[in-house]
Amino acid sequence: MPLSTPHARKPIHDRKIHMQAYQRDDGFYDIESHLVDTKPYPFKRFLATEPAPPHTPLHDLWIRFVLDEDYVVQSIEAASDVTPFPICKEAENTLKVLIGERVGSGWSKMVKEKLRGVASCTHLAEMLIPMATTALQGIRGLKLGDFLNTKSEGKPRHLNSCYAYAEHRDVVLKIWPEYHRKN
């Protein structure tokens, strides 16, 4: 079901983010993200003398990280094809501090701590957070049985982790009936 009909309006900015998870033939996983920001009208870039034409990217950024079976980052690379300033491209290498870190609980907090402020590019750091979800959705999708049976403190790890997995919902009744509780 789509959203309700909006009030009269005109577009002023477009951000597209595309993420994909890949299973490699060597047992590792590639997680990729691509972000493109555009405006539907001519706009002035910082330090530029002429306006940029409509739909010219302000940002065109890529990230790929490689995960092992335990969701540990083995390598990471970024490509900043379009940035507001040439120096922004130097931030590509700042992501290397994530090598050896595990994607999972605490990932967002750790990324924000390691890459905050002048430590990296804000947009690259922002991309890394939903990349973790992409990784978990992709890899766990291959191992659905493991996902459903993973325990933490004797209970399914994902019990009460989101709206659908609340112990009083029908989803829990169907997947983990022994943990279902009436509301």
Q: What digits encode the pLDDT tens for the residues 73-83?
A: 999 999 999 99
Answer yes or no: do 167 and 81 share one domain. Answer: no
Answer yes or no: do 154 and 116 share one domain. Answer: no
Answer yes or no: do 48 and 122 share one domain. Answer: yes
Answer yes or no: do 131 and 160 share one domain. Answer: no
Q: Which domain holds residue 167?
A: 144-183
Q: What is the pLDDT of residue 152?
A: 72
> In 3D, which of 16, 14, 81 has the Cα closest to residue 43?
14
Q: What is the pLDDT of residue 110?
A: 98
> In 3D, which of 122, 114, 15, 18 has the Cα closest to residue 73?
114
Tell whether 135 is covered by a domain.
yes
Could you give the percent of the chain with pLDDT greater than 70?
A: 97
pLDDT in tens, 6-60: 999 999 999 999 999 999 999 999 999 999 999 999 999 988 899 999 999 999 9
Answer yes or no: do 169 and 134 share one domain. Answer: no
Q: What is the pLDDT of residue 46?
A: 87
**Cα distance between residue 120 and residue 127, in whole Å:** 12
The model's pTM? 0.87
DSSP element (H, E) containing 135: helix 122-142
Answer yes or no: do 107 and 180 share one domain. Answer: no
Q: What is the pLDDT of residue 93?
A: 97
What secondary structure letter does DSSP report for 102? B
Q: 117: pLDDT confidence band, cut at 50, 70 and 90?
A: very high
Q: Residue 26, Cβ neighbours under 10 Å: how many? A: 7
Answer yes or no: do 37 and 98 share one domain. Answer: yes
Rounded to whole angstroms, the maximal C-alpha distance in the chain is 67
Tell whether 79 is covered by a domain.
yes
Number of domains in the chain: 2
Q: What is the pLDDT of residue 147?
A: 66
Tell whether 8 is covered by a domain.
no
Answer yes or no: do 93 and 183 share one domain. Answer: no
Tell whether 89 is covered by a domain.
yes
pLDDT in tens, 131-159: 999 999 999 888 766 667 777 778 888 88
Whether the Cβ atoms of residue 72 and residue 101 lie closer than 8 Å to each other: yes
